[in-house]
Amino acid sequence: MAQEQSYSTGVMLAAMATVGWSLSGAFVRHLPGLTGWQINCWRGLFMALALLVWLAVRYRLQLPARVAEVPKLALIAAGSFFALGSTLYVTALTMASTANVACLTATAPIFTAMLSRAFNGENPSKATWLASFMALGGVAFIVRDGMQAGNLAGNLVALSCAICWALQVNTLRRFRNVDMVPAMVLGGIGVFLVAGFWGGGFDVTSREMAILAIMGVVQLAVPIGLFARSARSVPAVVASLIVLLDTVLNPMWSYLTAGEKAAPQDFIGGAVIVAAVMISVVLGQRSAQVNAQARARHGAV
């Protein structure tokens, strides 16, 4: 069973995970010749291996018992949502504009909110819904110049990616009392196989393999581990909103590592996203305090 974790700790873990995920653009700049399939293929494998090593070091001989604690449905669901979401994301980028994909995948917090009650019994407040739409508006403002009617099928695939993310976050939250990292290992292996055999992602050079190995650990494995742990104390919708900070951080890393300058709308849209995240975090903190007080009163009875 998972140990008690404070809300503020969960928020910090989700934020740290987002910082790690936001490094994707910086890594991709050093892999100009690779397709999304090649990147996802080997990044997924190295993520799975890194998480497996971490689990082995942490639990040692207790690892089989820890894995057995995870309900089979949770193990398969979370792993499948991760693998499917990653595959859909790469597929969407081949069918629709990057701006369209970015905007449509930013609907994930809204889908997360819609599914939260059914999965976890969590009812997002009106203010949380407002924060979700605020964040979506911020993303849309950033990418509006690149948006187009585009390919309907590609847009639907991008939307499906957002739904997969919402399902994954809610699954992690639903089974927060067990360590869900084994499910992410399964998902990483699934991504490796799908991207390799379906997308032809196996063929990379030794230099590219080395970069992908680092990327798999730093940009994926560590953030996945942190985010899975954050789900123990952070509502699913709040966690999804925190992850949208990637839209703000990713261009920043690209500027620092490759000199890519941000457009004026990036700052305006980024400010809206940050404001939305702050609103959701503060509301979540108040809710956590109310729940803690209720538990304390219940325990005193």
pLDDT score for 29: 84
Separation between Cα atoms, residue 261 and residue 256, nearest integer Å: 9
The DSSP code sequence of the chain is -PPP--HHHHHHHHHHHHHHHTTHHHHHTT-TT--HHHHHHHHHHHHHHHHHHHHHHHHGGGHHHHHHHS-HHHHHHHHHHHHHHHHHHHHHHHHS-HHHHHHHHTTHHHHHHHHHHHHH-----HHHHHHHHHHHHHHHHHHGGG--S--HHHHHHHHHHHHHHHHHHHHHHHTTTS--HHHHHHHHHHHHHIIIIIT------HHHHHHHHHHIIIIIIHHHHHHHHHTTTS-HHHHHHHHTTHHHHHHHHHHHHH-PPPPHHHHHHHHHHHHHHHHHHHHHHHHHHHHHHHHHHHHH-
Residue 1 placed within a domain: no
pLDDT score for 153: 87
Amino acid at position 244, single letter? L
Domain count, the chain: 1
Closest Cα partner for 222 from 19, 5, 4, 2?
A: 19
CB neighbours (10 Å) of residue 229? 23
Low-confidence ranges of the chain (pLDDT < 70): 1-3, 149-150, 258-260, 288-301
pLDDT score for 103: 87
Range(s) of the domain holding residue 276: 7-300
pLDDT score for 295: 53
Separation between Cα atoms, residue 69 and residue 23, nearest integer Å: 32
pLDDT in tens, 174-208: 999 999 999 999 999 999 999 999 999 999 999 99
pLDDT score for 292: 54
Residue 2 placed within a domain: no
pLDDT score for 232: 93
